Every structure is written in structure tokens, then in C-alpha cells.
Amino acid sequence: MNAKPVNAPIPDTSAILLFIKAPVLGRVKSRLAAAIGEKAALDLYENFVLDSLATVEKTGIPFRICVYPPEAEKEAASWLGDRYRFMPQEGIDLGERMESAFLACFSEGLERVVLMGSDLPDLPSAVLEAVISSLKQNDVAIGPASDGGYYLIGFNKDSFLPEIFHGIAWSTKTVFEKTMTVLRDSGLAIQQAPQWHDIDTLADLKALFERSKGTSFDKSKTMTYLRNEGARLLP
């Protein structure tokens, strides 16, 4: 992949984009909701977002919360607090929304931008810090998800490649593979982050609960909720 060493301080012209959905009953975590019910899925998603937000804040890196649908920006600010910077996700599909977010940030003068999802509440802040630092030497960073997608993508302004968002069948097992093909063909220097686990199904949720016991994530909002509701949700 021609990746270069990760050893640089985090630059001031960097930002993290946390992609979230508005917490609306029946509109989030549909596969999880099929197993545990829409109300529990909504409760969990809200905790996922809060834990992800805490992780991003811990890095000390400037960040923005990108909200879908775009008209729910005020609702998200009311939920999470107006001290954060929000921006709408603009576009027909996920690829368009990610591309638009990168372009908006780069047009403002940011040099390095990392976009992450909100379905991996146990992602350590150290992963985000390392990814941002890696973009000092590398053109692109990507974090593969265990389901075949990716949970994180980052670019330098000068190496941004919108083509990776085109012609992709989102939410399929080939997203990461097809994206990597485009990146390799481009000749960019790629930094690959550790594989992580999106929480989309009941099996994913059970695995998260078991592997998090006794870890730093054990005191998170997600784990607290699961301990309180586990007898009902995790048979």
C-alpha cells in the first residue's frame, strides 16, 4: 500500500466528521430493531452516538456532527447541545453525502479530514488520533469494518479522490474491497487502520457486550444500558 510512517503531531488544520442519523423511532438500526424492537434499537443508537461523541471529544481534535436527514439539524442540536458544530448531510445516497462533507470542509481550508460512522461506540480515541497523524505522511486512511464495509475514511486536501464514493453498492460486503481497488489504482499512499466492528445485528450486540466486560468501555453509556436491559435484550 506504500504507507509511510505514522509519527507526526496532529495538525491544527484537521477535523473529524461524526456522521449520525436523527434519533427517530423506526428510522435507525433497522436490523437490530427486527430482533429487539424499535424502542430498544432507538435507545441503543442514542447511546452509540453519545459514546462516539465522547470518544471524539477525548481526542481534542476539532470535529463536526454531520446530521441526516439534513432538516434534522436543529433536532440534533436540541438533543446533543448547541455547543457543538453541526452540518447537514447533503446528497441522495451515502456516497454523495460523504463526498459533499469532504468538499465542504476542504473548501473552508481544512487540510486533513477524517469521517467516521456512529455504529462503533467502542472505537478507542487512540485510533482516531493515529489516523489523523498518519495523514501528515499519507494521502488517505481507511478503517475496514468486519462486515465488509468501512467505518472510517480520511483524506488530505490535495489527495482527495471523489471517485471512491461513485458506483458503490452501499451496505454490502464488497464496499471495502471495491474502495481499496480504486485507492490502489490511484497510486495514493494508504494508511489502513485496525479492523473494527459495526453494531448492526443482535449477534454484533452480544459480541460487543461480552468483549467489553472489564475494559475501559465497560463504564460507557452503551454498556450501562445493556447491563440494565440485558436480561430482556440479550437472551
C-alpha cell read off for 46: 442514542
Question: Band of the pLDDT at 214, cuts 50, 70, 90?
Answer: very high
**CA-to-CA separations, 153 to 28, 38, 64, 97, 130, in angstroms, rounded:** 22, 29, 15, 13, 13
CA distance 16 to 223: 24
In a domain, 7, yes or no: no
Q: What is the pLDDT of residue 230?
A: 77
Q: What is the mean pLDDT of residues 67-81?
A: 95
Q: What is the mean pLDDT of residues 68-93?
A: 95
Q: What angle do CA 150, 155, 157 make, to 5 degrees?
A: 155
Q: What is the mean pLDDT of residues 203-207?
A: 96
CATH code for the domain of 122: 3.90.550.10
Give alpha helix (H) positions in 88-173: 94-107, 125-134
Question: Band of the pLDDT at 3, cuts 50, 70, 90?
Answer: low
pLDDT of 1 higher than 70: no
Closest CA to 150 of 184, 119, 185: 119
The 10 Å Cβ neighbour count of residue 231 is 8
In a domain, 231, yes or no: no
At 130 the three-state DSSP class reads helix
In a domain, 9, yes or no: no
Domain count, the chain: 1
In a domain, 234, yes or no: no
In a domain, 3, yes or no: no
CA distance 118 to 131: 17
The 10 Å Cβ neighbour count of residue 58 is 13
Across 6-10, 83-87, 147-151, 220-224, least confident range: 6-10
Distance of CA 7 to the CA centre of its chain: 23
Identify the H or E element spanning 194: none
pLDDT of 196 higher than 70: yes
Question: Band of the pLDDT at 6, cuts 50, 70, 90?
Answer: very low
In a domain, 142, yes or no: yes
Question: Band of the pLDDT at 61, cuts 50, 70, 90?
Answer: very high
Is the preceding peptide bond at 5 cis, omega within 30 degrees of 0? Answer: no
CA distance 160 to 163: 9
pLDDT of 192 higher than 90: yes
In a domain, 38, yes or no: yes
Average pLDDT, the chain: 94
pLDDT of 8 higher than 90: no
In the chain the first and final C-alpha atoms are separated, in Å, by 43
CA distance 10 to 130: 9
CA distance 110 to 152: 18
CA distance 22 to 9: 34
Q: What is the pLDDT of residue 5?
A: 46
Q: What is the pLDDT of residue 216?
A: 95
Percent of the chain with pLDDT over 70: 95
Q: What is the pLDDT of residue 234?
A: 86
CB-side exposure of 62: number of CA atoms within 13 Å? Answer: 12
Residue ranges making up the domain that contains 152: 14-226
Q: What is the pLDDT of residue 84?
A: 96
